Structure 1
C-alpha cells in the first residue's frame, strides 16, 4: 500500500537524472559564474583567454552550454532573446 503524506499526497519515487535534466527543457536556463580557464571545457570552440577573467555561462536545463558573456546583464539579455527564464547556479 502506498503511504500518503497528509499535505503532499502519495509519495513519488525520486526523479531519474534524465527526468531531472528535462525539467524546464527549452524554457529554463541556468546562469553559472565561471573563470576564463573553465571556458574551453564548456565551449571548446572558444578562443583562449587570459586566466582568471570572471565570465558567466548560460546553460540549458540539461547542462548544455548556450552562450557565454562577461556580464550577467548581457547574459540576461541573451536569455530574453531566446525566451528563456534564468536561474542562478552557485
Structure 2
C-alpha cells in the first residue's frame, strides 16, 4: 500500500493523534521559546541550554537543562523518542 493511500484513510483528527502515548520528541529550546510552550515556567536565564520533551501531538511534557533527563522521562512514560533539530 502506498503512503498516499494510507494517509487518505486517516481523518485530520486521527492524523493529529498518530503516535500519541507512544512517541515523543526531544528538542533543544531557546529561553525565548519557553513561555510559549511552558507558560507556567519561571523566567529562564538566556545562557542556559534547555531541552524539552513533547508528546507526538506537541503536548509539552518536560523542560530541563539536562538533556539526559528528557530520555529518562520518555523511558519512564514508555515513549519512543526522536530528536528534532
Match of 1:20 in 2: 15
2:78 alignment partner, SS class = coil
Question: What value does the CA root-mean-square deviation take over the aligned residues?
Answer: 2.2
Could you state the TM-score of these two structures normalised by the residue count of structure 2? 0.81
- State the Cα distance separating 1:36 from its structure 2 match: 1.6
**Count of residue correspondences:** 83
Q: Which runs of 5+ in 1 are unaligned?
A: 1-7
- State the Cα distance separating 1:52 from its structure 2 match: 3.9
- State the Cα distance separating 1:14 from its structure 2 match: 8.0
- Larger relative contact order, structure 1 or 2 (CA cutoff 8 Å, min sep 6): 2
Tell me which protein shows more helix as a share of its residues: 2
Q: Which runs of 5+ in 2 are unaligned?
A: none
